[in-house]
Chains A and B, each alone.
Chain A
């Protein structure tokens, strides 16, 4: 199951898929939002429900809020996929300090660490806009959260 906004990332890579439990033949899939208002959640829930229905599995999707999602749940595979898609993965170590610090971000295209923030908010709630001062290309940074 791919995230609708992030190329090639599965919802498991992203940490959005929290649990799959089978009870008496019925499956319950638990998902959690990245950001509280993430508009992709409805689509992810629909995609999961559709996949269950297509496979002929009786099941339902449940949205859970706790524990709160953090970028530390991004898998290593997911971080690699982000970088290959031109999105700098979040610096490891979640929490307020990482959110407010001045993280050293490597350009996902040329690898240079001479990068700077253009805007604190980007095309989706989970991203900020950065630019590389070496190769001059702008890029998205997946915000630490």
Chain B
């Protein structure tokens, strides 16, 4: 028996909430793939803990998305019953774990944005988003510190760790441009004081990158070209297999309970 996929109509606030929920879910899922495989036991726990924080954000936002949409979809429906084209997460967060350096760089780039983003969102005119932000901003800050410490250790480490960290940065920085994606709907939310304006977050983001990359002796790749598409449902080839793994159980056994 198979389940039918759900489709969620576009609406400004719903899109905004689902985009951030999807970021948190997909990145959290990627981190969960390290469980039992991380370089050290302490790092295994760390990656699982960061993933758990992100899953918590995703759940809170999906629950809110369900309220906004008003179609009876709960957090499980959003996570398990949408196909890849319905996900609105950043391309960055769906990129594979790669070696540990790729995971660290991906986490660093995301956290360097998420930290000032959630801090700004604590002042959102939307009380639910402000409440989620007040919880997330401290967690994001902790994630950023952890990822920064690792990036510095890898970049300013051995010849091999430096080479791998630089390769990961070269590969993933082009995906960071999408962090500042805005469309007309989001511009309306920014004007209404509901959404944080990505343009206002640029100084903090660049300052973090400059400081950490300098300490890590890593070079910022030249060129400002970037890849985008995730925010509007056009994904890289990596999201499909991730969703297949994540969704197989609830789709094979609809409504199964522990």
Contacts and interface: CB of A to CB of B under 8 A. Distances in A.
A and B together in one complex = yes
Interface stretch (B95-103, B126-134, B159-167): B126-134
B56 A36 contact: yes
A125 interface: yes
A120 B142 contact: yes
A37 B59 contact: yes
A139 interface: no
Contact of A121 (B49, B131, B132): B49
A96 interface: yes
Interface residues of A, number: 25
B57 A37 contact: yes
Contacts of A121: 42, 45-46, 49-50, 146
B56 A33 contact: yes
A33 B135 contact: yes
Interface in A92-118: 95-96, 99-100, 118
A68 interface: yes
Given A119-B46, A123-B45, A129-B42, A35 B127 contact: no
Which secondary structure characterizes the binding site on chain A? loop
Interface residues of B, number: 28
B141 interface: yes
Interface in A123-145: 123, 125, 129, 143, 145
Interface string A10-36: 000000000000000000000001011
Interface of A: 33, 35-39, 65-69, 95-96, 99-100, 118-123, 125, 129, 143, 145
Interface string B124-150: 000110111011101101100110010
Contacts, number: 73
B154 to A, nearest CB: 16
B45 A119 contact: yes
A37 B61 CA distance: 12
A11 to B, nearest CB: 17
A65 B135 contact: yes
B190 interface: no
B136 A36 contact: yes
A67 B56 CA distance: 16
30 contacts: A35-B135, A36-B53, A36-B60, A36-B136, A37-B52, A37-B54, A37-B55, A37-B57, A39-B52, A65-B131, A65-B132, A65-B135, A66-B134, A95-B138, A96-B138, A96-B141, A99-B141, A118-B42, A119-B42, A119-B46, A120-B142, A120-B146, A121-B42, A121-B45, A121-B146, A122-B45, A122-B49, A125-B52, A125-B53, A129-B42
